[in-house]
Amino acid sequence: MKDFKGKVAIITGAAYGFGKEFVKQAAERGMKIVAVDIVGDELAKTGELAKELGAEDIVCITADVGIYADTEKVVNETMEKFGQIDLLMCNAGVAVPGAGINLPLRDWEWIVQTNLMSQIYFMRQVVPIMMKQGWHCNIMNTCSVAGVINFTGMVPYFTTKHAAVALNESLNYELQAMGADIAMGVFCPGYVQTHLDHSEEYRPERFKAPDDPYYASEEFAKGQAAAKFVIETGYPLEGFGATVFKAIEDDQFYVLTHREYDGMLQLQTMEKLKMKNPNLAELVAAINAAKEK
């Protein structure tokens, strides 16, 4: 997408982090924006900021993107308001640290619905609209470096991010086979100072169980502390919005911003090609070697 002005963008996860940065970039480029998040009060602040940056048309919709009916509401309101969709950016994501075998199933379901199913819900509706429009459109979905490498500690998160990358890759092939003029992309960053470590603040009621002893356990507390540390010590958020929008402008599919993970990616790829068992000790050694560079 070379010319953004006047084009219509749906951006989810817009109250915080990457979603908010993408709204700012879209506003500065003169796009018409539909900003979506489950946290309505913070979303309204994003809308006001977008107007300050020059957005003339922005609609803020409070929705739970893990519910199909809510995504239908977003798409329908977008078409009623603007009559077209040119850019889709699915950024909503949550994480609950903890061992995969110990994490309550409700957390697995919450993570799967938010990180993966939300992208399926939106693309299932938006792709046919884009194809019917007949002009060049873009989809850029946030998937995380956790979608191309694996490690310990957040099995559901890695699972959904790998699935999201596979979803976008395979759908991209299908769209090419159909001759669709839709450029897809996956944004796969490492740790950045977003709001991911505050996922509990926007846990939907249907996934709450305050009496479950897991949430009072030492494992849960340590996981939350670790998540807070890696996010707060991650890369500053500033600049990532411009990087991703440059990738959209160039119709770039893979957007991997943290190249210090290349060694892990190469190691795990070679394990597969050589049919070698995954080895945690070798993986940790690769991580430590990357830190020393």
Active site residues: 157
Cβ-proximal residues to 256 (8 Å cutoff; 6+ apart), any chain: 145, 148, 188, 189
Residue 162: name the closest of 178, 137, 183, 144 by CA: 144
Q: What spatial distance separates the first Cα and last Cα of the chain, rounded to whole Å?
A: 36
Residue 50, amino acid: A
89: three-class secondary structure by DSSP: strand
Give Cα 1 distance to the centre of its chain. Answer: 20
Query: What is the C-alpha separation between 23 and 288, in angstroms, rounded?
Result: 36
Residue 195: name the closest of 45, 116, 94 by CA: 94
Residue length, the chain? Answer: 293
User: Residue 193 CB: number of other CB atoms within 10 A?
Assistant: 16
Q: Strands, DSSP E only, in the chain?
A: 8-12, 32-37, 58-62, 87-89, 137-142, 182-187, 254-255
- DSSP-assigned letters across all residues of 221-246: HHHHHHHHHHHHTSB-STTHHHHHHH
Query: What is the C-alpha separation between 39 and 43, in angstroms, rounded?
Result: 6
User: Residue 2 CB: number of other CB atoms within 10 A?
Assistant: 8
